């Protein structure tokens, strides 16, 4: 069986950059590494992602959003994550069930027990072995996200960035609450530092937690 690592955090916390750095260091250590993301990670889930993140879909109600995330996850787990873990790979995933619980539970105020049940239904027996939470102030993360969006050809994937500051504060508080409740699984890293300092901290966690080849 492989090893499943998820990266979590608010918008603009630096997950995508750190996942790429982590993947490189793990490959250099001799691991087979699969990098993926949610929502998305396979063709069907990517189509659902386009719907979920399109800023033009502002009429989407929270329950629709939640069910679409569950549908995308079920396909992603079956098609990508579970097979890779069965083959012994280290799987790095940009967001997973914690994001759904935090964004839709803490952020949207949907029933967290319902979300947990849907997460279990979609993910089955798949659970992260390690979750790296990159934490930074909301104002810092949103400024980074805005800079990223403005550099793109299209601004379609910005629906969550358009949410209120209070929404994003609830999301951050939700992530920290989950980390406090499962300290054995979560490693909280200061995402307010520079890329190199954060990468060094992530590498230290990986060195101590990921089984050696």
- In sequence order, the β-bridge partners of residue 3 are 90
- Token digits of residue 167: 């929404």
- Token digits of residue 203: 């590498």
List per-block mean pLDDT (blocks of 10 residues) for the chain, which spans 213 residues: 96 92 96 98 98 91 97 99 98 99 97 98 98 93 75 56 83 98 98 92 96 85
Q: Which fold has domain 3-209?
A: Rossmann fold (3.40.50)
The answer on whether 126 is annotated among ligand-binding residues is no
Which pTM was predicted? Answer: 0.92
Instruction: Please give the full DSSP string across 139-189, using - where no structure is assigned.
Output: HHHHHHHHHHHHTSS---B-TTTTS-HHHHHHHHHHHHHHHHH-TTTEEEE
The answer on whether 161 is annotated among ligand-binding residues is no
pLDDT of residue 144: 77
The string of pLDDT tens digits covering residues 25-52 is: 999 999 999 999 999 999 999 999 999 9
The answer on whether 11 is annotated among ligand-binding residues is yes
Sequence spans of domains, the chain = 3-209
Closest CA to 75 of 52, 50, 46: 46
pLDDT of residue 162: 67
pLDDT of residue 150: 63
pLDDT of residue 12: 84
The answer on whether 174 is annotated among ligand-binding residues is no
The answer on whether 107 is annotated among ligand-binding residues is no
Half-sphere exposure for 97 (CA within 13 Å, toward CB): 25
The answer on whether 180 is annotated among ligand-binding residues is no
DSSP secondary structure code for residue 23 in this structure:
H
């Amino acid at each position: 069986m492989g090893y499943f690592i998820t990266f979590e955090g608010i918008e603009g916390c630096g997950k995508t950059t750190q996942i790429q750095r982590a993947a490189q260091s793990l490959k250099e250590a001799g691991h087979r590494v699969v990098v993926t993301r949610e929502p998305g990670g396979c063709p069907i889930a990517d189509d659902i992602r386009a719907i979920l993140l399109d800023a033009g879909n502002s009429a989407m109600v929270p329950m629709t959003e939640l069910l679409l995330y569950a549908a995308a996850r079920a396909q992603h787990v079956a098609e990508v994550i579970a097979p890779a873990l069965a083959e012994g790979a280290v799987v790095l995933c940009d967001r997973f069930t914690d994001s759904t619980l935090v964004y839709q539970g803490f952020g949207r105020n949907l029933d967290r027990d319902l979300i947990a049940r849907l997460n279990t239904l979609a993910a089955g027996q798949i659970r992260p072995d390690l979750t790296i939470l990159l934490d930074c102030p909301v104002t810092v993360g949103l400024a980074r996200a805005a800079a990223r969006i403005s550099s793109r050809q299209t601004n379609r994937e910005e629906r969550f960035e358009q949410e209120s500051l209070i929404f994003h504060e609830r999301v951050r508080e939700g992530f920290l609450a989950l980390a406090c409740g499962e300290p054995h699984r979560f490693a909280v890293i200061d995402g307010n530092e520079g890329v190199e300092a954060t990468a060094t901290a992530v590498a230290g966690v990986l060195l101590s937690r990921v089984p050696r080849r």
